[in-house]
Structure 1
Amino acid sequence: MSDERHEAMRALARARHLVKKDLQGKRQQIWSLMLRLGRIYPGKTTWGPGHMRWPTAQKIEYREQRIAFEELFEGIRQEGECLERLENAIREVVPEWSLSEVVAALQAVRGIHLIAAVGVLAEIGDLLSNPARADGLSGSRALRKLDRYKVKRSGVTKAGHGRARRISWPQK
């Protein structure tokens, strides 16, 4: 595996992660602004097409609040477009990556899509060649305490690679 090529893929995956984080922050800011204005979304699912139309239909009385809202909403649109460009770039370069076969193997696990698989592999490398190392790096290995008659298991250690642990795992 070319270290430079792997670092390039890691940079692309991290850029996507940062844009996703910024998008979530802007959504939270709009949500907070609407709550401060006493506006509560009546639907059940948020940030789908219906929810995206709802804020724009709201009448905001003061110009200052309208400007703040419009800027935040424009930021969401821009971040969404950037996220789409980065995800398309990831999809485009994965076939050329040395870990493309491992990406395909990871996608066989329910709930892991291409972007999440690339994010994990970009951070911790080829986890199929050494699963124990992958557990340790990700911090996903549960602690075990040996008692005289039984093994007690505790939660995840959280001692490993934080960025690999925080990768989102949406459904395919």
Structure 2
Amino acid sequence: MDVHKNSYICAIYGKTGEILGETKISSDIKLIEKFINNAKKKINEDVDVLAGYEAGCLGYSLYWQLKEKGIACNILAPTTMQRSAKNKVIKNDRRDAQMIATNLANGSYKAVYVPHDHDVEIKEYIRMMNDFKDESKKVKQHINAFVLRLGYRYGGKSRWIPAHIKWLRGLELNSMYKEILDEYLSQLEELTEKIERFQHKLEELSQKDSYREKIGELRCFKGIDTTAAMTLHVEVSDFNRFPTAPAFASFCGLTPGEDSSGEKNKRLSITKQGNSLVRTTLVECAQVLVRGTIGKKGKKVKSKQLGQDVKVIDYTDKAVLRLQKKYHQMILRGVNKNIAVTAIARELACFVWGVETGHIA
């Protein structure tokens, strides 16, 4: 099925290798069921049917609807599907449906992992919170640009702390400019309060029986707070589906690409395939992890480790020490800071996999 918001293009690929039927229908699960039953009548024998569609705007909703009807379904990861050269030259919905059916028949794809319902709920909650964080960043950018256009420059080291907000509110502006700045600051204050409320709710959710143990263990890492731990845990859902730590790092899109031929070996930038939110979260955690003195644990890290298993604490402390040393060695060699942080994020992903799967020996 090539699925869109208001319509589905369906194609059935038979055992003998030909397209047995095609149709364009509205986005109604009953019409899919009807199309499958009609195709079975044409074949005139009892066969198993496997439905599939590319991961996209519909998320898991169609998968769950088909499952309720007793129809087996896979969600295909777009980057793993085989595509003919002709499909790249002439592309339309009909050809896409045929291509998806062919991949289903040949098994030339990887299915997207479908998480549990409660994981999806929290995943959507975290994404909603991130949307508000993005809005907050935009408002801050607007304020910075507005104040700069008026010729004012903040002399402090850190922005958006109480001292910076006090400085903004104390600027002597004419009535119109003052009104504009007050509106911006009011919007920022409202967004900040909402984000704090979301984070408090996430703290409560992390204390549920299904999350408490693993979230507590992940928080033992320097740089991983409750929000980051919950994001990693629910976005991946089942870490055991990755046989090795490098396989998980590859899923995150943190492994370098390659363009080699013959004796020529060329490494590219990271693939950026897989889950972008997990990748971004790991990079942000790595940025915090490499700060400060190597091997020194702050009060915040110690408080997060209270009550945790000694083996987990020992494992995470050794991991942080190794990553901090590696980062500083790379910087001393002249490696670009962003490249170094990405390398640390890739290795941090491996250590996260170790905690989630129990490989901490």
Normalising by structure 2, report the TM-score.
0.43
The verdict on how the C-alpha distance between 1:147 and 1:138 changes in structure 2, with shifts beyond 3 A counting, is same
Equivalent in the alignment of 2:177: 65
- 1:22/1:125 CA distance change after superposition, 3 Å: same
CA distance in 2, matches of 1:148, 1:106: 43
Structure 2 CA distance, aligned partners of 1:93 and 1:7? Answer: 13
Partner SS for 2:134: helix
Distance change >3 Å, CA 15–CA 97, structure 1 → 2: farther
Cα displacement (A) at 1:4 = 1.4
Aligned residue among 123, 146, 159 for 1:33: 146
- In terms of Rg, which structure is larger? 2
Contact kept, 8 Å, 2:253 with 2:279, in 1: the verdict is yes
How far apart are the structure 2 equivalents of 1:77 and 1:12? 21
1:129–1:112 distance in 2 versus 1, CA, 3 Å: farther
- Following the alignment from structure 1 to structure 2, what is the Cα–Cα distance between the partners of residues 75 and 81? 10
In 2, Cα distance between the equivalents of 1:93 and 1:31? 35
1:58 is paired with a residue of what secondary structure? coil
Which residue identity lines up with residue 23 of structure 1 in the other structure? S
Contact 1:140 1:160 (8 Å CA) reproduced: no
Greater Cα offset, 73-82 or 6-15:
6-15
Q: Give me the whole-angstrom Cα distance separating, in 2, the residues matched to 1:46 and 1:78.
A: 18
TM-score (norm 1): 0.84
CA distance in 1 between counterparts of 2:176 and 2:248 reads: 50
- Consecutive unaligned residues of structure 2, counting only runs of 5 or more, are 1-113, 289-299, 301-361
State which of 268, 273, 276 in structure 2 corresponds to 1:159. 273
Which piece of structure 1 moves more, 102-111 or 67-76? 102-111
Task: Give the distance between the partners of 1:133 and 1:121, measured in 2 at CA.
Answer: 16
CA contact (8 A) 1:138 1:160 kept: yes
Give the RMSD, CA atoms, in angstroms: 2.7
Q: Mean Cα displacement is larger for which, 154-163 or 129-138?
A: 129-138
Aligned to 2:214: 102
Distance 1:86 1:155 in 2: 35
Identical amino acids, percent of aligned pairs: 22
Conserved 8 A contact 1:102-1:128: no
Q: Which blocks of at least 5 consecutive residues in structure 1 are unaligned?
A: none
